[in-house]
Amino acid sequence: MAKIRNWSFKDLSSFLKDYGFICENIEGSHHYYVGRIEGKDRLVQAMLSVKERDSQSLKTMKLAIRHSGIPKGYFNEWRNGRAIHKEIIG
């Protein structure tokens, strides 16, 4: 499976919005998205700093995958063709 690399802030926020997350809070460069995946409330952080605007760090992406509850493969599928697995939303 391909590694999660070179996701911009815009890519990550669009992905989260497509999966039903909304930006609930902003603290400086930290944007906090809340959503519900497979019946569990989730909180995911995305960074809009100068350093991570064009490419989220690998650490940020790994945390986004873990905290979102969305399988890593779904991130790759969305990136390749904007596929959304609606069965896990809610």
What total of structural domains would you count in the chain? Answer: 1
State the pTM of this model: 0.92
- 33 occurs within a structural domain: yes
- Return all residues near 75 (Cβ < 8 A) that are at least 6 apart: 4, 7, 15, 61, 65
pLDDT at 1: 47
Q: In the β-sheet with 30-37, what is the strand arrangement from edge to edge?
A: 22-27, 30-37, 40-47
In the predicted model, what is the mean pLDDT of residues 41-51? 94
Q: Which CATH number does the domain housing residue 74 bear?
A: 3.30.920
Domain assignment present for residue 41? The answer is yes
Owning domain of residue 51 = 9-81
Q: Give the pLDDT score at 2.
A: 59
Task: Name the pLDDT band for 6 (thresholds 50, 70, 90).
Answer: confident
